[in-house]
Chains A and B, each alone.
Chain A
Amino acid sequence: MVAFWILAVVSVAAALGMIFQRKAVYSALLLAVVMLSLAALYAVQDAPFLALVQVIVYTGAVLMLFLFVLMLVGVATVDSLVETLSGQRIWAAVAGLGFAGLLVFGIGNAVFAADAGLAAANGEGNVMGLARLIFNKYVFAFEVTSALLITAALGAMVLAHKERVSPKANQRQLSEQRFKSGEHPGNLPSSGTYARHNAVDMPALLPDGSVAERSLNPVLTARGDTVDRHADLAGESQTEAIAGDVEAVEKTVEEAQK
């Protein structure tokens, strides 16, 4: 009973949070809380198989699918507060409260026999008992389930399929496109090559010692201080550092030529 009260409070609070949370991702995570506490409630009620299926299928697969689609469809979308029908929210809340009251009082009025308990039915083990039912009494429903799953898989494929409007460009066309655009056709030089440091904000130096503009991210270039920031590492100004580098390179080249 202790488990029930804790889990009941947690699940109702999470469910309420789920419908009142404006961000859809928070709603999804709170739904995960509800589903996990329901799994624990199943385990308490002698349904260990369902508890595990709840964790694996609902929390593991269904909810992750929800999060996938949320991330694809725009996490940033927040519910608008403009009501299409005026007063809809209030009336929905009233209807919900009325419905809950009706159900709760209905259940409160009903007379329940004492719990029969599942000790006898679970005698062979819960999974064995369920398997006996599924593969004997409910075997036709089980077979129909396979048709349902195949239909669902096909339906998802048909719905998610997108027809290609224009033919796919082949490699030759892509290459021609790249050269005709007039921009640099190949890979851009990476930063730090032939420079004194290997850092993303350190421009590569061309063989004559000048700075290769293309080697830096335009965002970093826009800040404008990248070359200067590294110049003081050797205790020299930028031009001096470059001159020193060029000198060193020339010296090595001369030595190699001798």
Chain B
Amino acid sequence: MSHYLILSALLFSIGAVGVLIRRNAIVVFMCVELMLNATNLAFVSFSKMHGNLDGQVIAFFVMVVAAAEVVVGLAIIMTIFRSRRSSSVDDASLLKY
């Protein structure tokens, strides 16, 4: 059973590395989605391990929240792109100065 958890941990770490090394805001966002999916896999595995469906319900709620998050996040990326003509996370650095 721990196979599934290890796979989930690997996918989560790959997503985290992606968030750290990528510059394109959309790709960073996709990596965040990958991390959410990895946690969902862990929830489903735990659900099977404990023999009740609570884990699956939580995974379902994670999916709903992720869908809402994607909508708002992509709208923000679009707005930033419209004003700066760039989707790189390095270019939105105005708060630094």
Binding site for B on A (CB under 8 A): 4, 8, 11-12, 15-16, 18-19, 24, 27-28, 31, 34-35, 38, 41-42, 45-47, 49-50, 53-54, 57-58, 61-62, 65-66, 69-70, 72-74, 77, 79-80, 84, 88-89, 92-93, 95-97, 99-100, 103-104, 107-108, 110, 112-113, 115-118, 120-122, 126, 129-130, 133-134, 137-138, 141, 145, 148-149, 151-153, 155-156, 159-160, 162
- With beta carbons under 8 angstroms apart, the residue of A34, A79, A92 that contacts B24 is A79
Q: A50-B59, A77-B86 are in contact. List 11 more A-B contacts (CB 8 A).
A: A4-B4, A34-B37, A46-B48, A58-B37, A66-B70, A80-B23, A92-B20, A107-B5, A116-B51, A152-B67, A160-B78
Give the number of residue pairs across the A-B interface with Cβ within 8 Å.
230
> How many interface residues does B have (CB within 8 Å)?
69
The residues of A that contact B13 with a CB separation of less than 8 Å are 96-97, 99-100, 103
Say whether A148 contacts B57, CB under 8 Å. Answer: no
Instruction: Determine if A73 and B87 form an interchain contact, defined as CB atoms under 8 angstroms apart.
Output: yes
The complex places the Cα of A118 from the Cα of B44 at a distance, in Å, of: 11
The reply to whether B26 and A70 form a contact with Cβ atoms under 8 Å apart is: yes
Smallest CB separation, A80 vs chain B (Å) = 6
Of A24, A27, A50, A162, most B-chain CB atoms within 10 Å: A50
Roughly how many angstroms separate A20 CA and B5 CA in the complex, as a whole number? 24
A–B Cβ pairs within 8 angstroms, 30 of them: A4-B4, A12-B7, A12-B11, A16-B14, A18-B18, A18-B31, A18-B34, A19-B14, A19-B21, A34-B37, A49-B60, A53-B60, A57-B63, A57-B67, A58-B63, A65-B70, A66-B70, A77-B86, A79-B27, A80-B88, A88-B21, A92-B20, A99-B13, A100-B14, A103-B6, A104-B10, A107-B5, A145-B61, A155-B72, A160-B79
